[in-house]
Structure 1
Amino acid sequence: MRRSEFLRAVDAEFGGRASSLVSDLVLKPLDGRTAAEALDAGVSPRDIWLALCAEADVPLERRHGAGRLEPRRH
């Protein structure tokens, strides 16, 4: 997962709460950092996404592959 995919996934899942969750919610699995702090520290966006999903009780079926662009049509 790339940073841009992470940001799309967060926006798609959390809508208007997305930016506040990324900047304010402290995630224990990420050493007590917020998602924004973890991104800045170089933590994998996928690890951040999974930690955020776990903390926010996102159902498992909505965690895998979220944020990815649709395949290109030829």
Structure 2
Amino acid sequence: MRYREFWQLVDEVFGRAYGRTLASDQVLDALGSRTAAQAVEDGVEPRVVWHALCDAMDVPEPERWGTDAHRQAPPAR
């Protein structure tokens, strides 16, 4: 997953306004008590950040991959 894809999924799954706020404000223990945005800026793999954010927000697996029918879900670590 690329950084661009991470932000695209944030927008698709959570909505642009809420998703960006969530990524900037929600501190995640799984990311070392950082927000998703901080973790991405710190160089954490976007796939890892995405899974941590979805896990924290209880997003069901089938809803994690947005609207692109051809997008393949990368495996969790």
TM-score (norm 1): 0.83
Change (3 A) 1:39 1:67: farther
Q: Distance in 2 between matches of 1:26 and 1:61?
A: 24
CA distance, structure 1, for counterparts of residue 67 and residue 40 of structure 2: 18
Corresponding residue for residue 42 of structure 2? 41
Aligned length, in residue pairs: 69
Write the letter of the residue equivalent to 2:3: R
Contact 1:5 1:69 in 2 (8 A): no
Instruction: List per-residue Cα deviations over 1:36-74 (Å, max 9, x = no partner).
Output: 1101110000000000000011001123xx269676xxx
**What 5-or-longer segments of structure 1 have no aligned partner?**
none
Given residue 5 of structure 1, which amino acid in structure 2 is its aligned partner?
E
Q: CA RMSD in A?
A: 1.8
Question: Do the aligned partners of residues 68 and 12 (structure 1) sit closer, same or farther apart at CA in structure 2, a change above 3 Å counting?
Answer: closer
Q: Tell me how far apart the structure 1 counterparts of residues 68 and 57 of structure 2 sit (CA, whole Å).
A: 23
| One-letter code aligned to 2:40 | L
2:59 is paired with a residue of what secondary structure?
Answer: coil
| Matched-pair identity in % | 46
The question of 1:28 aligning with 2:29 is answered: yes
For structure 2, the 5+ residue unaligned runs are 71-77
Q: Which has the higher contact order (CA 8 A, sep 6+)?
A: 1
